[in-house]
Chains A and B, each alone.
Chain A
Amino acid sequence: MSKKKESGIVISQREIADGIFDLWINTDISKTAKAGQFVGVYPANGAMLLPRPISICKVDKDNNALRLVYRVAGKGTLEFSFLKKGDRIDVLGPLGNGYPVDKACGKKVILMGGGIGVPPLLEMSRVLKDLDDNKKPSEVSIVMGYRNSQDFLADEFRENGQFYVATDDGSLGVRGTVIDALNKENIEGDVIFACGPMPMLRAIKKYAGEHNMEAYISLEEKMACGVGACLGCVVKTRDVDAHSHVKNARICTDGPVYDARDVEI
């Protein structure tokens, strides 16, 4: 554990799809960051005080850099979208638990992402690819869902596994959801790692349950502190949580990644 808040330096930023930005930041947080974790990014505008939780798309330890791919969703992320090389940006992290990479060992893995839930799976796909042979999954299928043909990060995913795509408008791959793509393309697996909007995660929880698969899903909620103090971002859990002693777990610290069986979503 080594969370910190520090001033990072923007290495580069570009818009890779409508309203989707690809931001590289030089920060020591990269030293300990893992796939599935996130950072809190602070707007410079003093009227916006809370950190914006943004998932980590890539960790480049050699260059002390983190890659964040985010969607402009409000005033805070709009401010971030104007950041240029050399600008400073305050970042808190690394936050959250990350994906349990060991669960992939020897298994047929399916990575599933939807919308702005796509980016954290890129780091996960890279981590799985770079694992030692005795820890590697036997197979990696990557199923990403987009609104339309703006399939950001798709080319990079193709380097890390068998890639499938689903789009809402049918302009690429299977028309429909990532679950539709699983069915249509007959993709099979033992364990799913996922991130995306709540309806998609609910569908994955259900699918995994019906097919006797494990699923590790990354959840999202409005957050304040990001470090487990305020109890703002909780999710209902199946069992009484060890920390809260009620059926609530903190997404920022106990999550954001949960075994789908453990959460009531």
Chain B
Amino acid sequence: MNTKVTIAGVEFKNPVMVASGTFGSGQEYGEFADLNKLGAVVTKGVANRPWEGNPTPRVAETSSGMLNAIGLQNPGIDVFVERDIPFLQQYDTKIIVNVCGHSIEEYLDVVERLSDEKIDMMEINVSCPNVKEGGIAFGTRPDALFEITKEIKKKSKQPIIMKLSPNVTDITEMAKAAEAAGADAISLINTLTGMKIDIHRRCFALANKTGGLSGPAIKPVAVRMVYQCANAVKIPIIGMGGIANAEDAIEFMMAGASAVAVGMMNFHNPYATMEVVKGIEDFMQKEKIEDIKDIIGIVK
């Protein structure tokens, strides 16, 4: 049985990753998950300097999901390089660093710093809906996405993944722009912008008013978008959005994802990633699937 998948020349022992921002830098879930068993750890977004993030409340539960508006709080690239990368290097897993910024220059700062680090890939967050300037602006206009992707490709020594926002009219336009600019892969979906109001206090549930919706509530939207993008571009796709178990992961792969990420459901079940890894193997055995790659995009 082969569970290995390859994305842009990087070989992953299995297709199971974590979604940026839901797993810290791996350490926080070390008591629950064996990081050696993961295909990759995708880190919390990191910027060229520390970011304070948004005021609280930053999270609110919604039906089968949650809203968050963390605002990409992060310790900055200096601390990240000194502390978080060495931590992850102790493990036999691939390291994908999520990069955020307010401007092309800020993104490039981080990309350049990371270029000489022992990391396997970078995921460029151009789709966080919770940051006022930059960020999402690059992820909702194909021309802006093309531009930033092209600039990052010039500086990056590692393959890059552009993380796409679902908050657009046609996500395939974004996927095509990323591909045309030289992106090695795309990941989708980031969160859907939402809002919740506390009717008793007559206020927003989040201090930021709006937040990003994640969790099983968005899974059908995510599967649809993965399918659409898989039919629009040739570069590999990392699928995510409400994956709770192996069945969900396989659904994304059949829709066209070469790998998958567990996100919000880590909060519900800190063992979720381990169960997805095991569940995929069980499914392959039961369905007599020799190679996991055989199911990628199998549903046409």
Contacts and interface: CB of A to CB of B under 8 A. Distances in A.
* A and B part of one assembly: yes
Interface string A19-50: 00000000000000000000000100011111
A203 to B, nearest CB: 20
Contacts of A92: 270
Interface of B: 21-24, 28-29, 31-32, 44, 50-53, 56-61, 63-66, 68, 70, 73, 75-76, 79, 215-216, 264-271
Contact of B75 (A235, A244, A253): A244
Majority-rule SS of B interface residues: loop
B220 to A, nearest CB: 15
B58 A229 contact: no
A234 B271 contact: no
Contacts of A248: 52-53, 73
Interface in A172-221: 221
Nearest to A228: B28
A181 to B, nearest CB: 28
A229 B268 contact: no
22 contacts: A3-B32, A5-B270, A49-B264, A50-B59, A50-B267, A51-B267, A76-B61, A221-B56, A222-B58, A224-B68, A225-B266, A227-B31, A227-B32, A228-B24, A228-B28, A230-B267, A231-B58, A231-B70, A232-B59, A233-B56, A234-B73, A246-B75
Closest 8 CB pairs of A and B: A245-B75, A232-B59, A229-B24, A229-B28, A49-B268, A222-B57, A225-B267, A224-B59
Size category, A interface: 35 or more
Contacts of B76: 245
A50 B70 contact: no
Contact of A234 (B44, B58, B63, B64): B58
Given A5-B269, A230-B21, A50 B61 contact: yes
A47 B244 CA distance: 13
Nearest to B52: A246
B59 A246 contact: no
Given A49-B215, A50-B268, A222 B60 contact: yes
Contact of A227 (B56, B73, B75, B270): B270
Nearest to B242: A49
B79 A245 contact: yes
A49 B73 CA distance: 23
A187 to B, nearest CB: 32
